[in-house]
Amino acid sequence: MSFLELFSRSSNREKKPQPQKSEAPAHWIKCESCNALMYYKEVENQLYVCPKCGHHIRIGVKHRIQFLLDENSFEESDSGLKPVDPIKFVDKKSYRKRIEEAYEKNNRYSAVVSGSGKIDGVSVEIAIFDFSFMGGSLGSVEGEKIYRTINRAIERRRGVIIVSASGGARMQESTFSLMQMAKTSAALAKLSEAGLPYISILTDPTMGGVSASFATLGDIIIAEPNALVGFAGQRVIKQTIGSDLPEGFQRAEFLLDHGAIDMIVKRKDMRETVGSLLKLLMQKAEEKEVVSA
């Protein structure tokens, strides 16, 4: 067989399709910061923090509960709440369709999971955002869950923790979503009047109406390293003010330097830090209650 015949035959062979990103083995994780490819067990053992560069990979509610709360202490509340479609919103898809798709992906109807638990033995009421559910957007159900979390804390004389991971208010609910900013903030004011503490934990990202309301109203505001926190996106701000933004703008370290948050805590230290703060704040709350009585 001549070289030309061999070349012609090989070039006519059907090309093998290239593997797609979605077909990558599930046991390998690629860091979005340094692009390192790591075996999932290696990352899991580090609480989903890249062992190469320290980047805190976004995690869901399941892992957040596992890493933050005492083992088997979490009891979920209000899991049956479901969103409605108050303005019959439709863009490329109907709002109802998006909700159903989010449910199929997450097996829940809300970006917030709320309930009771313990941290280092201290009872607490907690609400946790999951960014994988419609970008962790704040809708009526999310606002109601936070509102009920705060009310339970007042009734049971406990502190509140809210872990935020959100793109902001849910546009498919329009003003109904924006109302949750005022609703949750008013509930937190009652919590403060009751002398009970609120610790806000900001994770990547915490943006829009969430950052403009309850996320930045904590007695103590903690952020994970390099978390993106702000109201509008950098591109919008840059176009509005017509000038370049400072390096690291809207990152946790920038906010700490400018006094917008109280501390940055690595994920491996979060349970111990929050537990210590809760003990101290609840002790102060009990002392005030005794004095006022």
State pLDDT tens for residues 85-109.
999 999 999 999 999 999 999 999 9
179 in a structural domain: yes
Question: Is there a single domain that holds both residue 151 and residue 39?
Answer: no
Question: Is there a single domain that holds both residue 39 and residue 140?
Answer: no
Question: Is there a single domain that holds both residue 29 and residue 137?
Answer: no
Over range 66-73, report the average pLDDT: 98
Question: Is there a single domain that holds both residue 192 and residue 275?
Answer: yes
Question: Is there a single domain that holds both residue 44 and residue 153?
Answer: no
The CB-side HSE value for 47 (13 A sphere, CA atoms) comes to 14
Q: What are the pLDDT digits (tens) for 218-251?
A: 999 999 999 999 999 888 898 888 888 898 999 9
Question: Is there a single domain that holds both residue 110 and residue 247?
Answer: yes
Rounded Cα distance, 197 and 278, in Å:
8
**What's the mean per-residue pLDDT of the chain?**
92
Question: Is there a single domain that holds both residue 32 and residue 112?
Answer: no
**pLDDT for the residue 289:** 80
17 in a structural domain: no
Structural domain of residue 31, as residue ranges? 23-57
Q: Where are the alpha helices (DSSP H) in the chain?
A: 3-12, 40-44, 61-68, 95-106, 140-156, 174-193, 208-211, 234-241, 252-257, 267-292
**pLDDT for the residue 25:** 52
Over range 2-11, report the average pLDDT: 50
Nearest to 141 by CA among 189, 175, 109: 109
Question: Is there a single domain that holds both residue 250 and residue 125?
Answer: yes
Q: What are the pLDDT digits (tens) for 141-177?
A: 999 999 999 999 999 999 999 999 999 999 999 999 9
**pLDDT for the residue 243:** 87
**pLDDT for the residue 234:** 87
CATH number, residue 182:
3.90.226.10
Over range 256-274, report the average pLDDT: 98
**pLDDT for the residue 23:** 46
pTM more than 0.75: yes
**pLDDT for the residue 5:** 55
8 in a structural domain: no
Contact between 165 and 205 under an 8 Å Cβ cutoff? The reply is yes
Question: Is there a single domain that holds both residue 78 and residue 38?
Answer: no
Question: Is there a single domain that holds both residue 46 and residue 182?
Answer: no
Number of separate domains in the chain: 2
DSSP 167-219: --B-GGGHHHHHHHHHHHHHHHHHHHHTT--EEEEEEEEE-HHHHTTGGG--S
Would you say residue 2 has pLDDT above 70?
no
